Amino acid sequence: LAQTAQRRWPAADQYELVALADEFAHTIRAELDYELEGRTVERFATNFFNNATIHIPQVVWSHSTGQVLTLERISGLKVTDSAALDAAGIDRSALAQRATDAILQMIFEHGLFHADLHPGNLFIEPDGRIGLIDFGMVGTVGESARDALAAVILAVLSRDYEQLVEALLALGFARQRVDRRALRADLELLLAPYYGRPIGEIALGPLLEAAFATIRTHRLQLPADLALLLKTLIMSEGM
């Protein structure tokens, strides 16, 4: 269906439909392989070994197979239960900071991130430690993509639109010739309303929606490997 749409749908040149379908197919198949998930859990445990604020469960390999995954039991409060968190004396602002730090660490340091960060997959333990479960859906970010993402953030913060264009192109958005001057002008227009506002007041979802409209205008494409990352960021912000 993706191949047919790519040939017949006029708007398909704005998306890598076949690559997106392949990416989601790979993700779904990976979620069904519990031996693979167990190894992934251990990679996260290694990555967060020195981070006392994150609890990754141990894998019980003696009771695990490709069809059954047995993990250390994680228990705690739901991250969305504000009243229970307050009653337990959990500082919710500090909790949000720790969670944000962990997500950024996954993306920019480890290059391996939990891609299903909804409230059902987090438990807040009595000491405020964050317990993570369900590592069936994960994403990876290569070193060059991490550098380009960092360059995007730095360019936005410094209002360096030339560098922002270069960083977007380095991420693989361009599949054909790009009018850099026009793209730069539209990016400047897009970001102007956000300057001077506290970062906490900027909603990522609407900003990305506007950014994608600009991307489509310039016939750029969202690289398939970034789709899962953007989904994760939007889900994390909502939580």
Which tens digits make up the pLDDT trace of 119-170? 999 999 999 999 999 998 899 998 888 888 888 888 888 888 898 888 888 8
Q: Which has the minimum average pLDDT: 7-16, 109-118, 175-184?
A: 7-16
Structural Rg of the chain based on CA atoms: 20
d(CA 226, CA 20) in angstroms, rounded, equals 10
* Contact by Cβ (8 Å): 207, 194: yes
d(CA 237, CA 232): 9
Type of residue numbered 83 = A
Banded model confidence at residue 101, pLDDT cuts 50, 70, 90: very high
CA 238 distance to own-chain centroid: 12
Under DSSP, the state recorded for 56 is P
115 has pLDDT over 80: yes
Is residue 66 very low, low, confident or very high in pLDDT (cuts 50, 70, 90)? confident
Q: What is the pLDDT of residue 233?
A: 86
pLDDT tens for each residue of 179-230: 889 989 999 998 888 887 777 777 777 777 788 778 778 877 777 678 788 8
β-pairing verdict for 138-140 and 77-78: unpaired
